[in-house]
A and B are shown apart, each in its own frame.
Chain A
Amino acid sequence: MTLTAKDFKSDLKPIWCPGCGDFGVVQAMYRALAAIGRPPHEIAFVSGIGCSSRIPGYTTAYGFNSVHGRALPIAQGIKLARPQLLVLAAGGDGDGFSIGGGHVPHAIRRNMDITYVVMDNQIYGLTKGQLSPTSPRGLQTVTSVGGSLEQPINPLLYVLAYGAGFVAQGTPADMAGLTSIIEEAIRYPGFAFVNVQSPCVTYGREDQQIKAHREQMKTLVSLGHDATNMADALARAQHYGSELYTGVFYKNPEPPQTFEAQARERQTQLGPSARPRDRILDMFRQH
């Protein structure tokens, strides 16, 4: 069955501001899913809260626009309950690294076959322009008129340090590249992270819009980067915020077994000695 991008586009019209980077992201998502070839009913797409978290509703996959910062735990629950589904998670930088930050390390170390796409615009857009965890130091907003005093989180270093097996970054300024990265992330057999520099056209910095991305971006391939080398990946990731590197930072050449595969193996091993369901409570009765 040949699928096209249109098969993944829902009838709901996006309410994102005209010019929003997320239009490019959802388009890249449609194309990547078409290339993967799984039909929409075999895909579960979970998001948190924010402008970018509306993305599941704009696809024909089973979507769950859930609660703030909780896309990853819900995505993991879905994957455990229905391992045959292709599970995607998405959200913004605030959803993922502020309120949702506590879930990221555990999702990474658990290593379920989930692809997590963060639309990183360095601002809280839905709530009209407050600092986010990736906002650069000194950024002035309506609620931080003196400028941010905090160092931003580096999402690339964050996920690499926690051991993510696949880490990449893209921008809608390079649609072919972004599509390719998302497809590769979905194909990776384990937890995959894609940071998309997706500018907020309304509350973001003027000098960080798509036009600027086109001028600034440097593909990791053109720099001779070795994506199988973790030390190289960490070195490149340090430049988050000062350079716009796109492509795959790290891809584990020997992906470890996923959590769900290990859980199945454990179930098979313990199966013969498992008690019948109606006798399980016996374990807790005092003798």
Chain B
Amino acid sequence: MPTKGIDYRTISLRDALDLAVLVEEEAKERYLELADQMALHHTPDAEGFFRFMADNEDKHRVELLERRHKLFDHQPSGVTREMLFDVEAPDYSEARVFMTAREALETALRSETKAWTFFDKVLPLLLDIGVRGLFEELRAEEVHHQELVRRELAKLPPDDAFCHEDFADEPVGQD
């Protein structure tokens, strides 16, 4: 389970919404980190796509946060970032120097799948009807996101036969 210290049997709707917000926040920050890595290592196509994903994750985060504020105003949260471990955020190990746009999209697809798996695994544990409804919605959203990524992947030509890592001349200098 990519979370720690959360009891899904008793989690409230407020905390479940906060969890969803933090999942998106974690993913957004990771995409930004990966984008910065791509920029540093002169990999613009992947950089551009990761920044696009970061923006998307942030949009979802804002939507969920607005919903949370409407229902629970500024009540303190019982869930913190320290309880999450890459729920939807792509693993650092996904990145590669000179990765192609296709590889970046495949990374995003794996992350969306990871998030779907998380919501799917947690659902049987949830006892609160409101929280179940939320997690079912979030799980369905991930399916939609996967479809979007697959559609974009289908537009891309196949990668060439070169292994781009063979052309890496790492490490780079610190600015």
Which residues of A line the B interface, CB within 8 A? 4-5, 12-21, 23-24, 27, 31, 34-35, 51, 54, 57, 125-126, 128, 172-173, 175-176, 179, 201-202, 209-211
Number of interface residues of B (CB under 8 A): 31
A176 (CB) vs chain B CBs: closest residue: B85
CA distance A201 to B170 in the complex (A): 10
> Which single member of A4, A23, A125 contacts B81 (CB below 8 Å)?
A4
CB–CB B82/A35 < 8 A: yes
B41 within 8 A of A: yes
The 9 closest A-B pairs by CB, nearest first: A18-B95, A210-B93, A23-B92, A18-B37, A17-B170, A175-B85, A176-B85, A202-B170, A19-B95
CA distance A14 to B34 in the complex (A): 11
Q: Can you list 26 residue pairs at the A/B interface with Cβ under 8 Å?
A: A13-B40, A13-B175, A14-B37, A15-B40, A15-B171, A15-B174, A15-B175, A17-B97, A17-B171, A18-B37, A18-B96, A19-B96, A21-B92, A21-B93, A35-B82, A54-B174, A57-B174, A126-B171, A172-B93, A175-B85, A176-B2, A176-B85, A201-B93, A201-B96, A202-B168, A202-B171
B165 within 8 A of A: yes
CA distance A15 to B168 in the complex (A): 14
What chain B residues lie within 8 Å of A12 (beta carbons)?
Answer: 174
> Which single member of A20, A54, A202 contacts B92 (CB below 8 Å)?
A20
Which residues of B line the A interface, CB within 8 A? 2, 4, 33-34, 36-38, 40-41, 43, 80-82, 85-86, 91-97, 99, 165, 168, 170-175
CB–CB B81/A15 < 8 A: no
What chain B residues lie within 8 Å of A128 (beta carbons)?
Answer: 170
B43 (CB) vs chain A CBs: closest residue: A18
CB–CB A18/B99 < 8 A: yes
> Which single member of B2, B4, B38, B85 contacts A18 (CB below 8 Å)?
B38
What chain B residues lie within 8 Å of A211 (beta carbons)?
Answer: 93
B80 (CB) vs chain A CBs: closest residue: A4
